[in-house]
Structure 1
Amino acid sequence: MIRETTNDSPLDAAVKRLERAVAQLEQGLGERASTARTEGAFDEDRARLAAELDQARARERDLEAAGAQASAALGRAIAEIRATLAGQPQAQEA
């Protein structure tokens, strides 16, 4: 503890100690408020990123389904072309 000057009355010394304590308390509260705001921002970012991830996963499922449909359609088209070519006589070279 810092010694008070001998010119101060006990009441003045107590007031100064109280003022220092209040200043320290205000500083601590300010730091906690800043930390809480930062954590709140992280929570908001985390929530936003989670929502974006959910949307990306839904889009991925949609694209996989579209890819499977396209693959099936190509498979059917290839099968039809092969069947058509197999049913036609081969062209004779001159």
Structure 2
Amino acid sequence: MAVDQQAVKRHLADFAASRRGVEAYVEPPTNVTATTLILIAHDGEWTRRAAGTRQAAFDLASSLGIPVYDVLHTGYPQRMREWNSRQRKRD
């Protein structure tokens, strides 16, 4: 399945522009998903999109002008887990 790179870039650019302290994390492919790029804001809110390849994910994050990390090396930030926990309690 091909990734619509323009739609992905628009979504991620909109997310990054409308939130503070956004960082990107490249997630490896799994048996059921392609390589993904997850953006995480200062408060832990996040969004994820398929990026195609690892290099495409790094290039996309760099084009947005935000820090980018390999989640296999850094793990996920605590603020993301805290945001997820707050969302579960709200629902």
Higher helix share: 1
TM-score between both structures, scaled by the size of structure 2: 0.18
TM-score by length of 1: 0.18
Q: Which structure shows the bigger proportion of residues in strand conformation?
A: 2
